[in-house]
Amino acid sequence: MIESTLKYIWSLVEYYMEFYGYWIVFFGSLVEGESILFLASTVAAQGKLNIFGIMIVAFVGTLIADQASFYYGHHYGQAFIEKRDWLKKRSDRVMSLLHKYDVFFIILMRFTYGIRVAGPIIVGSSGLSPKRFIFWNIISAAIWSVASCTAFYLFGEQILGFFKNTEYLLFSLIGIGVTLWILHKAQKWLMERFQ
């Protein structure tokens, strides 16, 4: 039952990715990206999409999203942040990391859970030069899109094959849950250390 359900879901993913894949990647990378890139790159490994096309579309989508967020923060950031508690909490951490690590932080911001979406808004409100941000944001977007797509292209089918084996499904879900919990705690500990 579980195996047939998973096969059906994957057949739907393949169908929609084959016909609308690049649009799905574009809109997905505007918001989050990794899960969409995983699906699209795995479909590309099966020859139904072009991996270089996915990289380019993901690069453009994530760059547009971060630049729009940065400019929004640049123009309305402080007022916007003050009205939202979840942003206020992240703002101090982001500012602290930005001042300590500058370029390194801008490049790695999109890889960091918890500040990926809020980060560009907060950085925009910091007074950082838009020219400086766009230069390093282009580099960050290129690293993210190429590295993510390449990894998922090379290992996506193995990961899917692992999940299709139903006897490992439960253990995989537990393992993913524990790993995410550990990563969340580690990130929280690191953020507290660098405040």
For the stretch 98-130, pLDDT in tens is 778 778 888 888 877 666 777 788 888 888 888
Considering the domain boundaries, does residue 74 fall inside one? yes
Considering the domain boundaries, does residue 176 fall inside one? no
What was the pLDDT predicted at 64?
94
Domain containing 84: what range?
Answer: 2-166
The domain tally of the chain equals 1
Scanning 83-129, the segments in alpha helix (DSSP H) are 85-101, 103-108, 118-125
The neighbour count for residue 22, using CB atoms within 10 Å, is 18
CA atoms in the 13 A half-sphere facing the CB of 181: 6
Instruction: With beta carbons less than 8 A apart as the criterion, state whether 123 and 73 touch.
Output: yes
For the stretch 21-60, pLDDT in tens is 899 889 888 887 788 888 888 888 888 889 999 999 999 9
Average pLDDT (149-175) is 68
DSSP character at residue 110: G
Considering the domain boundaries, does residue 194 fall inside one? no
Considering the domain boundaries, does residue 38 fall inside one? yes
137 has a pLDDT exceeding 60:
yes
Q: Among residues of the chain, what percentage have pLDDT more than 90?
A: 20
172 has a pLDDT exceeding 80:
no
What was the pLDDT predicted at 165?
58
- For residue 6, give the nearest of 127, 149, 115, 168 by alpha carbon: 168
Kindly state the tokens that stand for 16. 């929609």
1 has a pLDDT exceeding 60:
no
| Phi, psi of 46, deg, nearest 5 | -90, 5
The whole-model pTM stands at 0.73
Considering the domain boundaries, does residue 183 fall inside one? no
